[in-house]
Amino acid sequence: MTPQEIARRYFERMRDGAPVADLFTPDAELKGLGNRVVGQAAIAEFYGRAQKDARPRPEPVAIAGAADRALAEARIFLADGTMMHVVDVFEIDGELIKSLTYFVSDYPTEPPG
């Protein structure tokens, strides 16, 4: 599988509310918003809480890849109606995710004026 296909598989599982930890290597890292989660078991716990509490439903906008990386832009819709605009950087090892770093855009509550 290409890095792009692996990223698409990740987003499909997230959208379906299915487990995603098995898409990660045993020593994988999940990094973003000042947090670092290490290891498949910790990643399973992280996503278990997120899927239970926020029920994220991502809609990928674009996915690009080269070598062992995929870069994805997505909109994530949460159960409370919040929409997040994110960029995810996937580092792939074989057919598993070695590292996922996510960047979230802040939207101002009101337009500057």
Domain residue ranges in the chain: 3-105
Residue 31 near residue 46 (C-beta atoms within 8 A): no
Q: How many CA atoms lie less than 13 Å away from 52 in the CB half-sphere?
A: 6
| Domain 3-105 part of CATH 3.50.50.60 | no
Per-residue pLDDT at 82 = 85
Q: pLDDT tens, 55-84?
A: 989 999 999 999 999 999 999 998 888 888
Q: How far apart are CA 8 and CA 3, in angstroms?
A: 9
How many residues are there in the chain?
113
> Would you state the structure tokens that stand for residue 73, as one six-digit string?
């832009």
pTM: 0.90
